Chains A and B, each alone.
Chain A
């Protein structure tokens, strides 16, 4: 280890001092706990969702799912090299899109339902137009966004023309899909970006990363606005609170947490009853009362976010759950797993 020169040391000290200050600051603001505050609220019941439908068709691990804005269609991506667009009401396949690379890690449906995007180990993000077919009758590929140095781990449409991606090379990129050009590209985290969640008003977004932090960004700017700590291991997924004032995150450290943007700190922590599973993906119900997390042991856990009580598990998957997605109207939860199944819970 090279000797640290005094200047650097001074900076280190300053930073450590500041960290201490944050902690004091947070403590000062933490005049009560969420659980105390919500102590007199009535309890919510055990989560009463059941696995109502199993969407069968993938023949390899399914890695990602995302709902369209109509709350009816969803897209799933699997290591069998296919995207499948499902009509979740009927459990029928609407479209199957064969991919150039089978290594798909993330998928996104545009809110309008016109486009789907996917990407993964091919270090690219591909956008398909669901309403147009190419010569062979499959959805037309409209954009192939390249230039990543790591796998694509998350992507979300702002609208039909704009896309934000997070990738394994720690970068956050903004794309103009009409032109197919990158409009922004910057280092977001000190580790792979693992999850991305857009705020309800589409003005800001949260990213979660392997560097154990989550950050808040403005869609217009490059620098992060806020940064959140607490997890002991990789943050695997984040989910905006529907009120736009906070977000939930889940991690491999076997916890899920709730952060508040305005008080700039963690206000809730959730653990499975037996500490036996890390989490890969999280979602919040419409009122923000229930938090659901997909676990690597194959269960979806749910908690009462307010009283921080575990409110049951959804069991059915036989292997790691890779992704869960709640449809925009909050009625149906889709989950994907390594057991090759996509399940709908309602």
Chain B
């Protein structure tokens, strides 16, 4: 269908999604499989991507870096191990060990080829199921079982006490590849209940995403962004991630904004630094990359350090974190190293609010925060830094600091339009006319109208605007302050009281009457004055007629007919008591309308009324403005208020 929208479509769309899709010029880098670092020799086909210096799982000081595996279809399994596990003794409640075992069972059974997640996994070829038992950062219910609620008996609530990051995701088409790895990792898990270590087994290049998410609002954008992020994380061709030595300490796994921008410029078809920055900003505002010590998610082209977010926290996982989770997180922050992780002002405010809101279950929140904090303390220092910052960035996305855009929250109207509501479909469900020819002809007819319309030049339009401004700037409160105290700022209602009292009309207001007849009639006192003037001139019926027509138009339908007849009788009928001076053509039109077979409608006198209005405007009104009556009134009010304050030096 061609509508005029096409005009708009043709214009360069600058929005992010398009830019991204068109920007990729680098061919999808086949990820090589460098150092296999997963403990047991995993499946032969497993493309294992390791991003940096560590090769042993124990040394995993890295964030759980997403695996940039654009692995070929038959063997998309990559296994990556990192991040130590929860210390079980830190687990808050007793049955948590059992939970871990349950998880382990789940892993084992996945490995054994029994699709743990039942039917849900098998929805489509290559669908990735993920059983994510996560560190509590985002949620009290840390075990996040996406896809099915029944997975392997891992119940959210019971597992919530396990603070280890255990993410197992496997492509069910390839479980046999995993068999070894997952089962061995589960063994590891069992063995290491005392010695902390976490297993992140991530399989396939697709990140944990389930079918439900496919409909998620921004999923297309997320997918594109994630593809780009993967490229950025490619070992040799990506952005260089370093561990920087600072005074007395190390800053692990970071890159600078300048590096990032340079990389974007090199790898994508972007015009200049500004565009690259904007692009980086978009990635950042969605939380894929974040500055390591700032709550504002944006990218600067300088030496500021940034870090990649772990895929677990990516917005494509459709997080809808609750306030309780946020409360736990904030509470935990207060327990950590005070100087370094001090809450920002807005966070402190939020914490206070939440504490008020959850006063009853605050003890529970506090306990949870405490246990998480204990677990955190057991971790390697560098790794803790990374995890803390990733968690913070997660909340910066979902509970942004004031003045930042929350990219994950969507406008309810949009949600509705996508058909997310059962109430209706919005415009998406509306049908276009069935017959394209008919539709197009109609469009053409409308367009013809547009072509035939006489338009004025822009210069004229601009002049009109300027003239209007010149006339009205002293009534624009943005530009000129009112003479009388402002009722919003003071308790005085003087300003309003004055308006009611016709003896003291400010000169500004009286001046305004001279702008146009409409202004005069809009002002009650002005209208009053004008009526008096017309009476003196013996032409009061014109205004009366016009007023009664306006009043009639506002009447309810039931009273319209009667009112119309009254007006007709009084002003227009041949023997009317106060006839108005209207040309015969308008009277004829009115007569037809009044006597129309369908009954008169409220607009039947419009032609006559506008005729009268113009008459008043060109004749009586200009005479009124020249009259002594108006001048006296103007002078009278001028005497009272000497000058109009011009506080802001705006030229009039």
Contacts and interface: CB of A to CB of B under 8 A. Distances in A.
Contacts of B472: 242, 286-288
A264 interface: yes
Contacts of A148: 424
A103 B424 CA distance: 14
Contacts of A72: 487, 496
A170 interface: yes
B475 A287 contact: yes
Contacts of B14: 232, 253
Interface stretch (B63-71, B83-91, B554-562): B554-562
Interface stretch (B116-124, B174-182, B405-413): B405-413
Interface of A: 7-8, 11-12, 14-16, 18-19, 21-23, 25, 29-34, 37-38, 41-42, 44-45, 47-49, 52-53, 72, 88-89, 103, 105, 121-123, 148-151, 153, 158-162, 168-170, 176-179, 181, 190-192, 194, 200-201, 210-213, 220, 223-224, 226-227, 229-233, 241-243, 245-246, 253, 260, 262-265, 267, 275-277, 285-290, 296-299, 305-306, 315, 318-320, 329-332, 338, 344, 346
B126 interface: no
A117 B370 CA distance: 50
Given A47-B478, A264-B453, A277-B405, A168 B424 contact: yes
B476 A121 contact: no
A176 B558 CA distance: 10
Nearest to B468: A243
Given A47-B478, A286-B472, A290-B478, A260 B8 contact: no
Interface stretch (B129-137, B237-245, B252-260, B456-464): B456-464
Contact of A15 (B405, B412, B444): B444
Given A150-B427, A306-B469, A21 B460 contact: no
B444 A121 contact: no
Given A210-B427, A276-B405, A262 B455 contact: yes
Interface stretch (B46-54, B96-104, B415-423, B527-535): B415-423
Q: Across chains A and B, which 9 residue pairs bring their CB atoms closest together, nearest first? A: A178-B556, A287-B476, A37-B462, A11-B440, A287-B472, A42-B651, A260-B461, A159-B554, A318-B402
Nearest to B610: A203
B403 A263 contact: no
Given A178-B557, A229-B8, A275-B278, A243 B464 contact: yes
Contacts of B606: 220
A276 B297 CA distance: 12
B477 to A, nearest CB: 4
B458 A161 contact: no
A286 B460 CA distance: 21
Contact of A263 (B6, B13, B456): B456
A223 B447 CA distance: 13
A229 B468 contact: no
Given A192-B413, A210-B427, A11 B469 contact: no
Given A37-B466, A212-B5, A298-B402, 17 more contacts: A16-B6, A32-B459, A42-B651, A44-B478, A168-B424, A170-B430, A178-B557, A178-B558, A211-B5, A226-B450, A243-B468, A246-B461, A262-B455, A287-B472, A287-B473, A290-B478, A344-B488
Interface range on chain B: under 10, 10 to 19, 20 to 34, or 35 or more? Answer: 35 or more
A297 B405 CA distance: 5
Contacts of B335: none
Contact of A245 (B278, B464, B479): B464
Contacts of A19: 4, 6-7, 447
B557 A346 contact: no
Contacts of B424: 123, 148-151, 168-169
A210 B123 CA distance: 35
Q: Which of B403, B458, B486 has its CB near the most chain A CB atoms (within 10 A)? A: B458
B307 to A, nearest CB: 22
B451 A45 contact: no
Given A121-B423, A153-B413, A245-B461, A346 B405 contact: no
B437 interface: yes
Q: Which of B424, B462, B482 has its CB near the most chain A CB atoms (within 10 A)? A: B462
Given A31-B458, A151-B423, A22 B451 contact: yes
Given A11-B437, A232-B15, A288 B5 contact: no
Contacts of B5: 190, 211-213, 229
A287 B479 contact: yes
B558 A179 contact: yes
16 contacts: A22-B451, A33-B458, A38-B465, A45-B650, A53-B488, A150-B424, A159-B554, A168-B426, A168-B427, A192-B417, A232-B13, A233-B15, A245-B468, A253-B15, A319-B406, A320-B406
Contact of B455 (A162, A263, A331): A263
A23 B7 CA distance: 10
Contacts of B461: 34, 245-246, 260, 262-263, 267
Contact of A52 (B417, B425, B446, B488): B488
B538 to A, nearest CB: 28
A289 B479 contact: yes
A330 B476 contact: yes
A32 to B, nearest CB: 5
A330 B475 contact: yes
Contacts of A14: 444
A40 to B, nearest CB: 10
B458 A29 contact: yes
B58 interface: no
B443 interface: yes
A49 B447 contact: no
B436 interface: yes
Q: Specify the main secondary structure of chain A where it touches its partner.
A: loop
A289 B451 contact: no
Nearest to A88: B488
A267 B496 CA distance: 37
Contacts of A12: 2, 440
Contacts of B15: 232-233, 253
A302 B236 CA distance: 47
Interface string B173-215: 0000000000000000000000000000000000000000000
Contacts of B2: 12, 15-16
B603 interface: yes
B625 interface: no
A253 B17 CA distance: 13
B3 interface: yes
A148 B13 CA distance: 33
A112 to B, nearest CB: 10
B247 interface: no
Contacts of B423: 121-123, 151
Contact of B7 (A48, A52, A160, A229): A229
A213 B4 contact: yes
B488 A332 contact: yes
A263 B478 contact: no
B417 A89 contact: no
B566 interface: no
Contacts of A47: 478
A15 B451 contact: no
B416 A151 contact: yes
A134 B412 CA distance: 31
B518 interface: yes
B404 interface: yes
Given A8-B436, A15-B447, A41 B458 contact: no
Contacts of A276: 281, 405
B440 A15 contact: yes
Contact of A190 (B3, B421, B603): B3
B421 to A, nearest CB: 7
Interface in B478-492: 478-479, 482, 486-489
B11 interface: yes
Given A178-B556, A331-B477, A11 B441 contact: yes
Nearest to B285: A276
A331 B226 CA distance: 48
A297 B402 CA distance: 8
Contacts of B459: 31-32, 37
